Chains A and B, each alone.
Chain A
Amino acid sequence: MDKIKLTIDNTLVEVEKGTTVLEAAKLTGVDIPTLCYLKLEDTAFENTPGGCRMCVVEVEGRRNLAPSCKTQCEDGMFVSTHTPRVVNARRTVMELILSDHPFECLVCTKSGKCDLQSLAQDLGIREIHYQGEKSTYKGDESPGIIREPEKCIMCRRCETACNDVQTVGTLSALYRGFGSVVAPAFEMDLDHSSCTFCGQCVAVCPTGALIERDNTWKVMEAIMNPKKTVIVQTAPAVRAALGEEFGYEAGTLVTGKMVSALRKIGFDYVFDTDFAADLTIMEEGTELLERLNKHLQGDKNVKLPMLTSCCPGWVNFFEYHFPDMLDIPSTAKSPQQMFGAIAKSYFAEKMNIDRKDLVVVSVMPCLAKKFEAARPEFAVDGDPDVNVSITTRELAQMIKSANLNFDALKDDDFDRPLGESSGAGVIFGSTGGVIEAAVRTAYELHTGKTLEKVDFNELRGFEGIRSATIDFDGLPINIGIAHGLGNARTLLEEIRAGKSQFHAIEIMACPGGCIGGGGQPYHHGDVSILKKRQIAIYQEDAGKPIRKSHENPYIQNLYKEYLGAPCSEKSHELLHTNYFAKKKKIEIE
């Protein structure tokens, strides 16, 4: 690699050719402020439109200020990042942005976590010298995501997430000049667009222009209603990230405190989605073995690879973009919906509660789960299996509103029976986890032998597309893994072209899997946070006495008492679903 030397604020620094001034400055201990620029290491996300001019610096010999995020280092360059001219330019940029921004910080969902707000504070803006008309737009309140375009600063990060990384193509800059806005085509609601509700646009938006729909008040209303029994389930990835909202180091597991907080908030039973994840493995694993066996016997009607179906963002994606391949994903519902279905049948009957008086709340790392919970096929006579879905961020909000000192909370345990889970259920929260959990069970069911080593390191990692071959006692099983919908698309197109060698593929819509979900505490561009959450998930698994789903005694009991066997008629009725082609057809007369 070619090395070059340059001077930044009187410090000599040596960098590789191709390094930007922004990156070089970081090496000298200077964090040049940025707004539109965002790069997520080890993922496909790179947003460098160079549009906001917040990152400008002075380069000796150049007349104009240079945007450091777009300017490559040159040998002998002399850069100043903090001259009066630079500071003035940055303040002007900020004041101009703020002059067309609503002053709603006091009541904005994003307050305290907003990059625009903290940058304005860092710059010490106390007055805005520009006044003019403020733009107004059509907003959007879809079940998962709310768009408030008045708060948009046109950084285009959401477009990069949606179009380049997820390859969904929902968002685009529309119109021009003062009236321009980032929105779905024809400013239609996200609901009617190709949006998957993966929430990755929300995860990178620096302002409150894209946020989750806040359902916390709905939950409180249910809790305060004496006629209702309110139960809660928490997804695996939540416990690995919730602590961040209370100042804990990323990757701190706060499972016990979380359970304790939920109980104090007033939930009647605190259960675990991990239980339903174990159930998912029983169904999905059995389905995989059934398909595999038929395939080995030469049945041409059986499609392989089988794709996992526990990520609703991914389900929305294939329903829209691959409507010709709806028979490939497993028919198993997601753990959230399996939990809801079992809670409103098995548990309600056991407790002698009318399902209409039972309120199921889910805490998810995810915005697509809000959309999923509202799907009409997941309701009985209009009563949804999962009544309300909230995100990790919303749970943190509820804990704060309940005046709980999170730090002082004692560790508590989940309730039985829907709170018991194996380590296999926990790793659902990370990319590669679902398929590892499935392998642990499918291996034993298929071979009749005991797995000596339950850790499949070859399935773990952070790379966007991974593959491994697992030896099922002489039968090689080829497994593919993709996280991020762009990577999923690559594998899907291989299948469509008849080129796929895989027997089973796990797909998660978000980077890193649910640990990087759109409802998690904001990472502000720091991917190491996601990796720490991932480590925490595998730690929780390693510490569990039971590591395989089929050994969870409460799962065994559920089948004995209620469902019969995996993929039985009753299981199909409660735990499996159908998919629907979503793409709107053009009407031609």
Chain B
Amino acid sequence: MAHIKLAQNKVAELKEVCKKFNNDKGELINVLHAAQSLFGYLPAEVQEVVANELNVSIAHVHGVVSFYSFFTMIPKGKYPISICMGTACYVRGAEKVLNEFKKLLDIKVGETTPDGVFSLNSLRCVGACGLAPVVTVGEKVHGRVAVEDVKSIIEEYKNDKE
């Protein structure tokens, strides 16, 4: 496993989070949620800090992280792609759009392309049902996406790679 170095201020922030939950083992899932929103993902090093702060074994923490699908150990890509799978989007073909992204990027949901540019996720309703099916790339929202549009969306950001 590649080792990463965590920034000191982020670690301090993480420890604060643990303290907010009274360093209570029973709050592990909530702490991990908070940690994931802080770091964007849960690398081994972050799990280790949490294990130490909550005084549980690192194996137990990884057990929990790997059990729930909403936790991820893979960093998001530079352009995180999310496909809305809410009812409105779904009935308008979001799944086909998702499959096209999977095919063209050659990754599964929850993964990141090896070059770190794109990551793929599905979301519950984003509240833009009028634009269904909706795809967000970073902060930007693409509406009424058809399977044929997928390729050009990818190209748009790929060329922006600089």
User: Is A bound to B?
Assistant: yes
- A residues whose Cβ falls under 8 Å from a Cβ of B: 163, 168-176, 183-186, 188, 193-194, 584, 586-589
A276 to chain B, nearest CB (A): 34
B5 and A587 contacting across the interface, CB-CB below 8 Å: yes
* B123 in contact (CB, < 8 A): no
Cα separation A193 to B63 with both chains bound (whole Å): 15
Kindly state the separation between the CA atoms of A194 and B62 in the bound complex, as whole angstroms.
Answer: 14
Distance between Cα atoms of A49 and B44 in the complex (Å): 28
Known contacts A163-B57, A169-B56, A586-B48; A185/B11 CB under 8 A: no
B129 to chain A, nearest CB (A): 32
Q: How many residues of chain B are within 8 Å of chain A by beta carbon?
A: 23
How many whole Å from B70's CB to the nearest CB in chain A? 12
Contact across chains for A184 and B59 when beta carbons are under 8 A apart: yes
Name A's interface SS.
loop
Give me 10 other A-B pairs in contact (C-beta within 8 A), A185-B58, A193-B59, A588-B7 excluded.
A172-B57, A174-B59, A174-B67, A175-B67, A183-B59, A194-B58, A586-B48, A588-B5, A588-B6, A589-B5
CA–CA, A501 and B133, complex, Å: 71
Minimum C-beta distance from B25 to chain A (A) = 12
User: A185–B58 Cα gap in the complex (Å)?
Assistant: 6
Q: Which residue of A lies closest to B5 (CB)?
A: A589
Q: Are A170 and B7 in contact, with the CB atoms below 8 A?
A: no
Instruction: Decide if the interface of chain B is mainly helix, strand, loop or mixed.
Output: helix
Cross-chain contact of A589 among B7, B44, B47 (Cβ < 8 A): B7
Q: Which of A172, A586, A587, A588 contacts B63 (CB 8 A)?
A: A172
B 33-65 binary contact with A (CB < 8 Å = 1; else 0): 000000000001101110010001111111100
Most chain A CB within 10 A, of B5, B56, B59, B61, is at B59
Interface string of B6-49 (1 = CB under 8 A from A): 11100100000000000000000000000000000000110111
A423 CA to B67 CA, complexed, in Å: 52
> How far apart sit A106 and B86, CA to CA, in the bound complex (Å)?
53
Q: In whole angstroms, how far apart are the Cα atoms of A324 and B125 in the complex?
A: 51
Pick 29 A–B contacts, CB within 8 A, sort by A: A163-B60, A168-B57, A169-B57, A169-B60, A172-B57, A172-B63, A174-B59, A174-B62, A174-B63, A174-B67, A175-B66, A176-B66, A183-B59, A185-B47, A185-B57, A185-B58, A185-B61, A185-B62, A186-B1, A186-B62, A584-B48, A586-B6, A586-B11, A586-B49, A586-B52, A587-B3, A589-B5, A589-B7, A589-B8
Tell whether, in the assembled complex, residue B5 and residue A170 are in contact, meaning their CB atoms are under 8 Å apart: no
Which residues on the A side are within 8 Å of B44 (C-beta)?
A: 185-186
CA distance in complex: A173, B6 (Å): 26
Which B residues lie at the A interface, using CB under 8 A?
1, 3, 5-8, 11, 44-45, 47-49, 52, 56-63, 66-67
Looking at the assembled complex, report how far the CB atom of B85 sits from the nearest CB atom of chain A, in whole angstroms.
20
Cα separation A388 to B25 with both chains bound (whole Å): 42
CA distance A194 to B1 in the complex (A): 17
Shortest Cβ gap from B101 to chain A (Å):
23
Asked if A587 and B1 make an inter-chain contact with CB atoms under 8 angstroms apart, the answer reads no
Cβ contacts under 8 Å, A172 to chain B: 57, 59-60, 62-63
CB distance from B48 to the nearest CB of A (A): 5
Bound complex: CA of A586 vs CA of B8, how far in Å? 11
- Least Cβ–Cβ distance between B10 and chain A, in angstroms: 9
Please, which residues of chain B bring their CB within 8 A of the CB of A185?
44, 47, 57-59, 61-63
Contacts A185-B47, A586-B6, A586-B49 given: A171-B59 contact, CB under 8 Å?
A: yes
Closest to A179 in B: B66
Contacts of A588 in B (CB 8 A): 5-8, 11
Enumerate chain B residues within 8 angstroms of A188, measured Cβ to Cβ.
1
- Residues in B with CB closer than 8 Å to A174 are 59, 62-63, 66-67
Q: How far is the CA of A172 from the CA of B52 in the complex (A)?
A: 16
Once bound together, how far apart are the Cα atoms of A186 and B11, in whole Å?
Answer: 20
Which residue of chain B lies nearest to A188 when distances are taken between CB atoms in the complex? B1
